[in-house]
Amino acid sequence: MSDHIEPMKKKEISVNEVEFAQIEQNGPKNLFSQMQGFWVTFATMFKKVNTVSYPEVKEPTAERFHGRHQLNRYDDGLEKCIGCELCAWACPADAIYVEGAANSDEHRMSPGERYGRVYQINYLRCIFCGLCIEACPTRALTMTNEYELADETRAKLIFEKDDLLAPLRAGMLMPPHPMYPNTTDTNYYKNEIKSSHPSQEVNN
Amino acid sequence: MTNAQLIAGDPGWLIAVKALLVFALCVLLTLMSVWGERRLVARMQQRLGPNRVGPFGLIQSLADGVKLALKEDLIPAAADKVVFIIAPIISVTTCFMSFAVIPFSGEVTLFGKVTAMQLTDIPVGVLYVLSIASIGVYGIVLAGWSSGSTYPLLGGLRSSAQVISYEIAMGLSLVAVFIYAGSMSTSEIVEAQQQWWYAVVLFPSFVIYAISMVGETNRAPFDLAEAEGELVGGFHTEYSSLKFALFFLAEYVNIIAVSALATTLFLGGYHAPPGLGFTEAWLGGWFTMVWFFAKVILFFFVFVWLRGTLPRMRYDQFMQFGWKVLIPVSLAWIMIVATLRVLSLNGAPRAATIAFASAVVLLVMLVNFGFENAKNKKKNTPFAEVSEPEFAVPQLPIKVSTINVSTGKKGDQ
Ligand code: SF4
Ligand code: SF4
């Protein structure tokens, strides 16, 4: 194939043949126009300031602001996370640590075969890029708008699964509990379970 | 009575009290001015500035001072220890010293004694301030040299070059004041301005002084000695903790000091502005101090305004400006002032004075015209054709975009 590649032609280009793009530059302004800069700063002093007095005044974030992560649940309370580690692999900052484990009928945290047994996000590393969200196959991982994540120690900034899990809402049951009767994980995936069933109340 | 007579009879304890007062005032003013500067600059940039510590953030600088004091005090291994420690001390003490000859007020009563708020009145007061200011430079130069590191050294060198060149312009601008006041004592210069402020009479001197005092204090746009973008922190890069705080203090006390000197020499010192002379008797004469500090704060505001508005100058432009513009202009101006003064002292006829003034104006116009011509000529000469270099050069891209300022013609060189 290499003989199809044309050899580069050496072509001398003289400076005079080169086409210039002219840019207008007027040189220094006269003293008066230079002085106008002083007026700009002076007038700005009396303008409304842009500062937000943060701890007292909290402005809402943009709607899709990348804040703290959240691990979501299905509407009956089972966790969405299947422990696949795709988020951890997607993370450019290596901020996520996941350990999956197998579900059993006695101990079921999520529909299907596996669940995330250990789930940690290190907020000292996370750059809030959202790549983990894109990687997650079950929408288990999403981001909230919460941004007040500062803390005193390094250890406190490694969030465990408990810190990240979404709270139980009405109709949800705290796992582990069995799946909705006569359903498979596909039904869950298609979002067909709208609430928990009385037969799922094994612990409560 | 003049200030010199007023303070001549001060007993020792009164001098001590006044020294203490002046020192306390300086420190207080520095703390306030740091806060004021940060708030003002913030406003100019549509921010709020420090507003957390105390009401309106007033004691922010105090908090910063405490924080600095609690920081680890590092002395680099390569540093010359003794000089390294002495440098900030020199810096700070000298800038406080110049306040000794500044008259803050007219005749006042302090603890039952009639006196004036001025520590001492020496016949060469202004020269004393100038000399103290030059010693203050040693602080910066030695700090730069003793740090044993590159950036501070560059900062120190810059600073010494800067202060030397601007001190000449500054000294020259003061000569006109001496000629007019017939004295170098600060209080007598103030008295000589009862009628007209020298800022009006000697306007060019005032402008030159105002410019060179910014250069002298290493402030924006002349802050080349500590240019953050180029030299990290300049001469104080290696300093930390209290020693750094001392430099910080020195910078601000220096600003207040040159502003106070400018007030004294050009804005009528502690006297009220024309037309408000009756206020000087208020509060038993203490109200003159209000006027004095009002003027100082005005200068300080200008300092802040400059910092908020202008970018830092390039070093060569800065030196060029000092040596090629300020100093010659000062010299010429002194000659003019001296001639006018001699003419008026010898009772020359009005016509002679006017003739001389017109001649000067004509001369200035002529020089200006020549300059403009030379500038235009330089602008219109195209660059000489350069021959191809013999060594290999990278190939030019086909389309070149260029900013062609010098000729204004389309790619024809
Ligand atoms: S947001 Fe980005 S950095 Fe943070 S955990 Fe997700 S992938 Fe990693
Ligand atoms: S959060 Fe999503 S991507 Fe991460 S392990 Fe769980 S299911 Fe997989």
The pLDDT value recorded for residue B413 is: 40
How many angstroms separate the CA of residue B53 from the nearest CA in chain A? 14
The pLDDT value recorded for residue A117 is: 93
Give the closest ligand to the alpha carbon of residue A81: 2
The pLDDT value recorded for residue B97 is: 86
- Ligand 1 neighbours (beta carbon < 6 A): A 90-91, 93, 95-96, 121, 126-132
Cβ atoms within 10 Å of B3's Cβ, excluding its own = 24
Query: How much of chain B, in percent, has pLDDT values that exceed 90?
Result: 1
Query: What's the mean pLDDT in B347-358?
Result: 81
The reply to whether residue B396 touches residue A41, judged by beta carbons under 8 angstroms, is no
Least confident of A127-131, B107-111, B327-331: B107-111
Per residue in B193-212, pLDDT tens? 877 788 777 888 888 888 88
Ligand 1: centre distance to CA A102 (Å): 25
Query: What's the mean pLDDT in B150-171?
Result: 84
Least confident of B147-151, B285-289, B363-367: B285-289
DSSP string covering B187-222: HHHHHHTSSS-HHHHTHHHHHHHHHHHHHHTT-TTS
Query: How much of chain B, in percent, has pLDDT values that exceed 70?
Result: 92
What rounded mean pLDDT belongs to chain A?
A: 86
DSSP string covering B365-387: HHHHHHHHHHHHHHHHSPPPPPP
A40 touches chain B (CB under 8 A): yes
What rounded mean pLDDT belongs to chain B?
A: 82
Task: For residue A49, give every residue at least 6 positions away whose Cβ sits within 8 Å of its Cβ, in sequence order, or none.
Answer: B42, B43, B46, B47, B48
The pLDDT value recorded for residue A27 is: 67
Phi, psi torsion values for A197, nearest 5 degrees = -110, 145
Chain B CB contacts of A51 below 8 Å: 46-48
How many angstroms separate the CA of residue A18 from the nearest CA in chain B? 6
Chain A CB contacts of B207 below 8 Å: none
Residue of A nearest to B311 (CA): A37
Report which protein residue has its CA nearest ligand 1's atom 4: A126
- Would you give per-residue pLDDT tens digits along chain A (204 residues)? 456 666 555 566 666 666 666 666 666 677 787 788 888 888 888 888 888 888 888 888 898 999 999 999 999 889 999 999 999 999 999 999 999 999 998 899 999 899 999 999 999 999 999 999 999 999 999 999 999 999 999 999 999 999 999 999 888 888 888 899 889 989 999 988 888 888 888 765
Question: Between the ranges B82-91, B226-235, B387-396, where is the mean pLDDT highest?
Answer: B82-91
The reply to whether residue A49 touches residue B404, judged by beta carbons under 8 angstroms, is no
How many angstroms separate the CA of residue B243 from the nearest CA in chain A? 30
Per residue in B13-54, pLDDT tens? 888 888 888 888 888 888 888 888 888 899 888 888 888 887
Residue of B nearest to A34 (CA): B310
The pLDDT value recorded for residue B410 is: 46
B402 touches chain A (CB under 8 A): yes
- The string over B27-62, giving b where at least 16 C-beta atoms fall within 10 Å of a residue's C-beta and e elsewhere, is eebbbbbbbbbbbbbbbbeeebbbbeeeeebbbbbe
The pLDDT value recorded for residue A101 is: 93
Report which protein residue has its CA nearest ligand 2's atom 6: A81
Per residue in A144-186, pLDDT tens? 999 999 999 999 999 999 999 999 988 888 888 889 988 998 9
The pLDDT value recorded for residue B231 is: 74
Give the closest ligand to the alpha carbon of residue A149: 1
Selected residue of A26, A31, A41 to mutate for chain B interface (largest B Cβ count, 10 A): A41
The pLDDT value recorded for residue A4 is: 67
Q: Measure Cα distances from A165 to A74, A159, A200, B41 in Å.
A: 12, 10, 20, 46
Choose the residue to mutate in A86, A91, A99, A110 for probing ligand 2, maximizing ligand atoms within 8 Å of C-beta: A86
